[in-house]
Amino acid sequence: MLPHKSIEARLQAAVSSVLPDANTANVLVRPCPDPKFGDYQTNALMALAKERKLNPRQLAADVLARLDVGELCEKVEIAGAGFLNFRLKSSTLERTLESAARGEHLFFERTTQPRTVVIDFSSPNVAKPMHVGHIRSTILGDSLARALRLLGHRVITDNHIGDWGTQFGMMIFAWKVEKFFENDPGLLPDPISELERVYKLVNEACKGDAKALAYLRSRFSYDVELELDKIEPEGALNWARMELVKLQSGDKENLEIWERLIAISKKQFETIYNRLGVTFDHTLGESFYNPMLKAIVQELLDKGIAKESEGAIAVFSDGSLPPKQDPFLKQEDGEWKPNPSLIQKSDGAANYATTDLATLAYRLQTWHPSEIGYVTDGRQQLHFQQIFATFRRWHPEANVKLAHVWFGSILGEDGKPFKTRSGETVRLADLLDEAEERAFQVVTDKRPDLPEPQRREIARVVGIGAIKYADLLPNRQSDYVFSWDKMLALHGNTAPYLQYSYARISSIFRKDDSDATSKTSEPASVSLGAPEEISLARHLLNFDFVLGAVVEDYRPNLLCNYLYELASHYARFYENCPVLKAEPKERASRLILSSLTAEVLRQGLEILGIQTLEQM
RNA sequence: GCGCCCGUAGCUCAGUUGGAUAGAGCACCUGCCUUCUAAGCAGGUGGUCGCGCGUUCGAAUCGCGCCGGGCGCGCCA
């Protein structure tokens, strides 16, 4: 057991012995904000004293009298208004590092209560290019899944792609206009661009653009029920609607076009996910739930949860919540008015709310998760509140935590939503290309001695890592400003700096000429002397706190900060404590410290989905 | 109008159940490479935590009211 866990357990026991009825779940230790206070502190006794109107320092003294942590810590101190400060004996630090060096742990503990957690993230749309709007969800979701898995939870990742909906009417229409059966766009180098081009064309024709309409007329020669010269905006729109209806009613040709659209898109998704190193256990898109929707609408009607309204079907407030917390009410002109959630449109089609309800039910029934996290844009907060509330009414027996893990927008340097210079949305593929290209310039500048293929590989890892890190570093709920210069900077809190820290440690081991036997046969012995060694060791021991917090609040940015601090501690150690030139005993100890730091850096970056390099 | 989120150093942002003297990077200034990768380190300048009132041993954090900004609010997802 790690020292802080052991201290915490004994502290809780001591509190129970003083206050038998106290709930000790919140009696926790955590790292001290300032090393002068010690290694760990608890402030929980002040809270306990407050709710019981006890003197906090007296309570601290009473608890301390029942607390025995003597073999782990120096004398425990009562400080301030009633803190308990713990300072680890240096032998405790040293033994913990040694057990890590033996591979018994890496400064964190796997959970004793594994949960099954579904993470819903990325969710791009079929037949459209993946763009910057998908990057935060993809990177955040992947990182959270990695963190949960590392801590021993059962994680199911599910990519809920947008493979059904009204846009397919226009897509199929466009497909037929361009006679793609004869000119398979899947064979083009960039089929998605081609699909996007014709989609825009049809869309513009529907809006009445003269050039687009003229183009349609010139191309139109198939299966003509409408006369060519009657293709006007209304005509084009009607035609697209007709194709949609045919698709929905199972028309063979349209289904085949739809399937080919999905196949082309999935290929694009795979290319991007491969570059990002992101994988999914399932890709169950919206279409998968299609067959279930009618029955769900009917069931919600039967149960009185939903009702007809203006031709549509909607869920209204049932009055079970205070109005302020009720997602189905809103205040207008001082009155509470209905704010319903539509589950069926007046044309009889279901919408995304229905699909999300079906998805939720399916996941629960199939995987029995204790938790489902939806990693989406913050603008969907109301939607998810309504979905969750509807689901609770529909399945009151369900025992599952539903979390909307929302995030803010990516902004350009001008503070407005991130776009290209010409005002287009930025494609993910282009973004990754540019990251690698810019990283290549930097690598070439710094290391002209390396052969080009190696520089390319470094640029790939650094470029992708920089984008991911820039995305994970800010608190997920804040908007952040996208800046190439900042994310690729070689100093400061950036991916390249962390990767460099790792590479620099690796370099020590490459130059370590001690023979292999001395590395393996002698029991590893750590002895800490220099202040830089001690603060580095202390920081390594805090890895567990950070991982717990990341998973608890769905916040990888805490890990970013931790890793940056770790790299800073190591840099100070590196400046002040020679490793290879030290005396044998000290050298062995410092090699262990270095190798454990490297391992935590590597593991931490891996949770962020960022690769490390031995050389850069 | 109502709801959600935000307002912290010149700029970009952290700030862990309320906790000890509010932190970092960039920028600016000063040092440090014959010594394990200087893609580095050390030091300095810089704050009425939007404003006010309140809650308490203690508030950037919680409550109320203002000011300023972003987003959302019935058939798109």
Residues in chain A: 616
Cα–chain center distance at A457: 25
Position A167 scores a pLDDT of 85
Query: Closest nucleotide (CA of A569 to C1')?
Result: B41
The spacing between the Cα labelled CA in A73 and the C1' in B64, in angstroms, equals: 45
Query: Closest nucleotide (CA of A53 to C1')?
Result: B57
- Torsions phi, psi of A535, nearest 5? -70, -30
| Region of residue A228 (phi > 0: left; psi between -120 and 50: alpha; otherwise: beta) | alpha
Position A228 scores a pLDDT of 45
Note the strand B nucleotides within 7 A of protein beta carbons: 1-6, 12-21, 24-26, 35-42, 56-58, 70-77
Q: Three-state DSSP class for A594? A: helix
Closest residue (CA) to C1' of nucleotide B39 is A490
CB contact at 8 A, A533 and A593: yes
Position A606 scores a pLDDT of 97
Q: What is the DSSP string of A55-73?
A: -HHHHHHHHHHT---TTTB
Position A211 scores a pLDDT of 82
Enumerate domains of chain A plus CATH numbers: 7-88 (3.30.1360.70), 116-162+281-407 (3.40.50.620), 167-249 (no CATH), 428-607 (1.10.730.10)
Position A420 scores a pLDDT of 85
Cα–chain center distance at A154: 16
| Closest among A318, A314, A298 to A306, alpha carbons compared | A314
Angle at A457 (CA atoms; ends A280, A575), nearest 5 degrees: 105
pLDDT tens digit sequence for A249-283: 889 999 999 999 999 999 999 999 999 999 999 99
pLDDT tens digit sequence for A330-355: 888 778 889 999 999 998 989 999 99
Closest residue (CA) to C1' of nucleotide B16 is A549
| β strands within A299-438, DSSP E | 306-309, 312-315, 329-332, 335-338, 341-344, 371-377, 401-407, 410-411
Position A574 scores a pLDDT of 94
Cα–Cα distances in angstroms (integers) from residue A348 to residues A296, A307, A310, A357, A359, in the given order: 13, 13, 12, 17, 20
Position A517 scores a pLDDT of 42
The spacing between the Cα labelled CA in A479 and the C1' in B7, in angstroms, equals: 13
CB contact at 8 A, A216 and A177: yes
Q: Which residues pair with A331 in a beta bridge?
A: A336
The spacing between the Cα labelled CA in A483 and the C1' in B7, in angstroms, equals: 22
Neighbouring CB atoms inside 10 A of A83's CB total 20
Position A127 scores a pLDDT of 86
The residue ranges of chain A whose pLDDT is under 70 are 220-235, 514-523
| Closest among A259, A272, A286, A268 to A123, alpha carbons compared | A286
**How far is A419 from A425, CA to CA, in rounded Å?**
5
Cα–Cα distances in angstroms (integers) from residue A568 to residues A115, A450, A497, A536, in the given order: 34, 27, 10, 9
End-to-end CA distance of chain A: 37
Query: Closest nucleotide (CA of A509 to C1')?
Result: B36
Query: Closest nucleotide (CA of A483 to C1')?
Result: B12
